[in-house]
């Protein structure tokens, strides 16, 4: 009880500090006015696992913020209007326009880079500020636009995957990836980083995002793997899969090809901690057999805020959430105080408030400092794998990659993980 009380006090102190970080103006909301923040989440479709976890995190965050206001004796409340993007860029734009018609100019999301790309021009032209908690495409690392991202861009994930594979003695990589801004961008970053380490990246398999049947693509991948293993040891070959929820179908098909079980598999943040994968016995069995390793933006579990809040999100969600849920929790605190401390309908004021608040905020996901492109500056990555126990499957942390300073990357696996827990 004492620990919880101290934690709540720290939240109140931090929030009080944040509300004074940017000079308030006559445009700030009055004590009785509610604050309304929009959210574009993929509650259905290929990214529904991330969307579901993010929605739960938003609910917990709103409860905590409103508890803070109540503790101050304020009549304020934060309300979140959530719109389902259906993991579809066109729907994301349609839903953003609906939020705009409601007068909402601060929006958390979209979560995918494909959706963010689709809505960015509209947001820039109509004075809408986007705070994405999962978009990572390097092509969206643009200075002075209206998109801010509480995650690092994929130049970092590509480097992490390359170094992790090198650590695992992989010499040849075959990519399989979505033909979209995220899949193409991430596969390119993996290629560049792995080749910089003197690795070989073969021609891969690409697929269209609207596909529902991946039989032809998996067969093509098998042919490429068979050809590669005829010239190299299977243990030195890896498939890197850049996918979303379609990983379930791909893995279910891949189990029918023995050669695909003989090589190493690495996933990406699009599948790490995905609920649908471990709920499908065929796909989960294959994932456990190949010991797939998937990185995702990580966090330090020794963080007091994480230890206090994460169990509440996990309890409400009923499972371990993707780390993007943690950045979503932080995003609502930041967006709330950006709303309080900026001049309405003034883009430059909102950007100043966003920069000041993110520079000083320490949340569930750690320090939220952004770089010159408005993306998260400092990072570490967790590596997750699928394990089986008593006939059920679960995600298990198997590695962690930390960048203490400059390019001195620290890779931990197995017993070394105790250092970072």
Question: What are the tens digits of pLDDT across the range 349-360?
Answer: 999 999 999 999
pLDDT value of residue 27: 36
pLDDT value of residue 8: 38
pLDDT category, 417, cuts 50, 70, 90?
low
Asked, for residue 376, whether it belongs to a domain, the answer is no
Structure-token match 């004074």, residue found: 20
pLDDT value of residue 322: 93
pLDDT value of residue 11: 44
Sorted by sequence, the CB contacts under 8 Å of residue 132 that are 6+ apart come out as 108, 109, 110, 111, 116, 147, 148, 149, 150, 151
Domain housing 402: 155-297+381-419
Do 160 and 282 share a structural domain? yes
Residue scoring higher pLDDT (351 or 415) = 351
Asked, for residue 372, whether it belongs to a domain, the answer is no
Here the CATH number for the domain that contains residue 206 is 3.40.50.2300
Do 182 and 49 share a structural domain? no
pLDDT value of residue 403: 74
Asked, for residue 188, whether it belongs to a domain, the answer is yes
Asked, for residue 373, whether it belongs to a domain, the answer is no
Do 280 and 183 share a structural domain? yes
Do 222 and 193 share a structural domain? yes
Span of 27-36, 148-157, 268-277, 391-400 with lowest mean pLDDT: 27-36
Q: Give the three-state DSSP class for 200.
A: strand
- Secondary structure percentages of the chain, helix, strand, coil, to 5: 45, 20, 35
The 10 Å Cβ neighbour count of residue 406 is 6
Do 400 and 329 share a structural domain? no
Average pLDDT, the chain: 89
Q: Give the three-state DSSP class for 85.
A: coil
Asked, for residue 312, whether it belongs to a domain, the answer is yes
Instruction: Give pLDDT tens digits for 147-199.
Output: 999 999 999 999 999 999 999 999 999 999 999 999 999 999 999 999 999 99
pLDDT value of residue 144: 94
Residue scoring higher pLDDT (416 or 99) = 99
What total of structural domains would you count in the chain?
2
pLDDT category, 299, cuts 50, 70, 90?
confident
Q: Give the three-state DSSP class for 119.
A: helix
- In the chain, the percentage of residues whose pLDDT exceeds 70 is 90
Residue scoring higher pLDDT (366 or 225) = 225
Do 412 and 275 share a structural domain? yes
pLDDT value of residue 406: 58
Asked, for residue 338, whether it belongs to a domain, the answer is yes
Q: Give the three-state DSSP class for 148.
A: strand
Q: Give the three-state DSSP class for 44.
A: coil
Asked, for residue 233, whether it belongs to a domain, the answer is yes
Asked, for residue 375, whether it belongs to a domain, the answer is no
pLDDT value of residue 26: 33
Instruction: Give pLDDT tens digits for 12-59.
Output: 334 433 333 333 333 333 444 799 999 999 999 999 999 999 999 999
Residue scoring higher pLDDT (331 or 212) = 331
Do 199 and 85 share a structural domain? no
Do 127 and 276 share a structural domain? no
Query: Which tokens is 24 given?
Result: 């308030």
Do 393 and 272 share a structural domain? yes
């Amino acid at each position: 009880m004492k620990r919880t009380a101290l934690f709540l006090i720290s939240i109140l102190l931090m929030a009080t500090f944040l509300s004074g970080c940017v000079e308030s103006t006559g445009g700030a909301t009055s004590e009785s006015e509610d604050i309304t923040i929009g959210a574009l989440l993929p509650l259905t479709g290929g990214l529904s696992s991330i969307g579901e976890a993010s929605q739960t995190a938003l609910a917990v965050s709103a409860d905590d913020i409103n508890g803070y206001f109540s503790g101050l004796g304020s009549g304020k409340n934060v309300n979140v209007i959530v719109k389902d993007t259906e993991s579809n860029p066109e729907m994301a734009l349609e839903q953003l326009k609906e939020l705009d018609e409601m007068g909402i100019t601060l929006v958390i999301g979209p979560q995918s880079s494909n959706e963010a790309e689709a809505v960015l021009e509209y947001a820039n032209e109509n004075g809408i500020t986007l705070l994405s908690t999962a978009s990572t495409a390097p092509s969206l690392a643009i200075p002075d636009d209206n998109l801010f991202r509480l995650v690092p861009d994929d130049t970092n994930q590509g480097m992490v995957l390359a170094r992790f594979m090198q650590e695992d003695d992989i010499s040849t990589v075959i990519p399989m990836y979505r033909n979209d801004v995220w899949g193409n961008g991430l596969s390119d970053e993996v290629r560049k980083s792995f080749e910089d380490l003197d690795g070989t990246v073969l021609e891969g398999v690409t697929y269209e995002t609207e596909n529902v049947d991946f039989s032809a693509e998996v067969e093509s991948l098998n042919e490429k793997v068979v050809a590669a293993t005829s010239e190299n040891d299977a243990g030195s070959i890896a498939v890197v899969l850049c996918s979303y929820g379609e990983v379930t179908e791909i893995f279910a098909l891949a189990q029918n090809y023995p050669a695909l079980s003989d090589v190493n598999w690495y996933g990406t943040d699009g599948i790490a901690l995905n609920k649908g994968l471990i709920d499908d016995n065929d796909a989960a069995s294959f994932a456990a057999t190949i010991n797939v390793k998937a990185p995702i933006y990580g966090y330090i579990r020794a963080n007091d805020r994480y230890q206090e809040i994460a169990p509440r999100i996990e309890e409400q969600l009923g499972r371990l959430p993707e780390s993007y849920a943690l950045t979503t929790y932080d995003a609502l605190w930041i967006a709330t105080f950006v709303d309080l401390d900026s001049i309405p309908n003034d883009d430059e004021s909102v950007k100043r408030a966003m920069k000041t608040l993110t520079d000083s905020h320490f949340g569930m996901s750690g320090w939220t400092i952004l770089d010159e492109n408005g993306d998260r500056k400092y990072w570490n990555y967790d590596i997750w794998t699928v394990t089986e126990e008593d006939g059920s499957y679960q995600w298990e942390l198997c590695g962690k990659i930390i960048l203490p300073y400059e390019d001195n990357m620290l890779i931990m696996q197995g017993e070394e993980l105790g250092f970072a827990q």
